[in-house]
Amino acid sequence: MTEAPYYIALDGLDGSGKSSQLNLLVRALLANGIDCHHIREPGGTDVGAKLREIVLTGEHDKLDGIGEALLFSADRRQTMLKVTKPALDAGQWVVSDRSFLTTTVFQGYGRGLSLELLETLHRIAIEDVRPHVQIILDIPVEIGLSRKGVQIEAGLDEARFENMGVSFHQRVREGYHAEAAKDDHIVLVDADADLVTVHNRVVEALNGKLGISLTPLPREKVLI
Ligand SMILES: Nc1ncnc2c1ncn2[C@@H]1O[C@H](COP(=O)(O)OP(=O)(O)OP(=O)(O)O)[C@@H](O)[C@H]1O
Ligand SMILES: [Mg+2]
């Protein structure tokens, strides 16, 4: 059933449910007998955690698009060299909260950087180790921002990209759709639904793309 190791990334707008769904996916994999590495970008290593602080806090126009792309790429490279590649080489699955696709859509479609330039940067940063599947949790911008607004008000999250304005996030969403249309490794999953439904859709998408048969968590285990 499990032709290991697979490298899976979840992507999507802020507040689309990536962290929530990653958590469920990691638990579902465990229940299917698969112990995986769970990473997040930015910030998957000690160096990355410092980079995350630089990039995600403070004023939204502190760095220009190229500065952002370079810092995110530095973090991504560190995570690739120190965590992702060693894990895959050792035969372990890796599931990641975001991937290079985030930089393509935020700095490319959102900020207007050249997609060719970003593609070159990705090749350097990740040495062409790409996820087998990139799942985009697709939601309308207003829903993501309203979910995030609740977290920011509660002091649980950084607000930098949320302050970029609705039209920025709209371009980012269109970017996700455009990239999904171009690349067979990318799957759009409708994430405008409850946690259980989205979890089932994520597992179904993975099974379809990878030709495997993971069982999703039962409803009562999602809702604890
Ligand atoms: N399917 C859902 N329905 C309703 N609320 C949800 C759903 N999924 C997640 N949430 C809630 O929305 C908020 C954002 O979810 P989450 O942190 O998982 O998103 P994210 O994509 O990881 O956000 P970020 O990009 O900021 O890391 C959380 O408060 C979470 O509990
Ligand atoms: Mg998150």
- Here the CATH number for the domain that contains residue 99 is 3.40.50.300
pLDDT in tens, 147-186: 877 665 556 555 556 667 889 999 999 999 999 999 999 9
- Residue 121's nearest CA partner among 85, 182, 79, 67 is 67
Q: Alpha-carbon distance 14 to 144, whole Å?
A: 6
- Measured in whole angstroms, the distance separating CA 166 from the mean position of its chain's CA atoms is 20
pLDDT on residue 55: 79
Torsion of CA 53, 147, 216, 180, to 10 degrees: -70
Judge whether 220 lies within some domain.
no
Q: What is the pLDDT of residues 5-38, one digit of tens each?
A: 999 999 999 999 999 999 999 999 999 999 999 9
- Determine the distance separating the centroid of ligand 1 and the alpha carbon of 124, expressed in angstroms: 31
- Cα of 67 vs its chain's centroid, Å: 20
Domain count, the chain: 1
CA–CA separation, 40 vs 78, rounded Å? 12
pLDDT given at position 45: 83
CA gap 61, 57 in Å, rounded: 11
* pLDDT band for position 146 (cuts 50, 70, 90): confident
Average of per-residue pLDDT across 53-69 = 80
Residue 142 domain flag: yes
| pLDDT > 90 in the chain, percent | 70
Residue 92 inside a domain? The answer is yes
Residue 82 has pLDDT above 90, yes or no: yes
Q: Mean pLDDT in the chain?
A: 90
Please work out whether the CB of residue 16 comes within 6 Å of at least one atom of ligand 1: yes
Q: Is the CB of 104 under 6 A from ligand 1?
A: no
Range of the domain at 115: 7-212
| Any domain includes 44 | yes
Ligand 1 centroid, distance to 18 Cα (angstroms):
7
Q: Using CA atoms of 128, 84, 217, 157 in order, give the dihedral in degrees to the nearest 10.
A: -100
- Does a structural domain hold residue 102? yes
Looking at all shown ligands, the one closest to residue 21's CA atom is 1
Across residues 64-89, what is the average pLDDT? 92
Ligand 2 centroid, distance to 193 Cα (angstroms) = 17
Is residue 66, in this structure, part of any structural domain at all? Answer: yes
More confident of the two residues 116 and 64 = 116
Q: What is the pLDDT of residue 54?
A: 83
Confidence tier at 43 by pLDDT (50, 70, 90) = confident
104 in a structural domain: yes
| Residue 2 is assigned to a structural domain of this protein | no
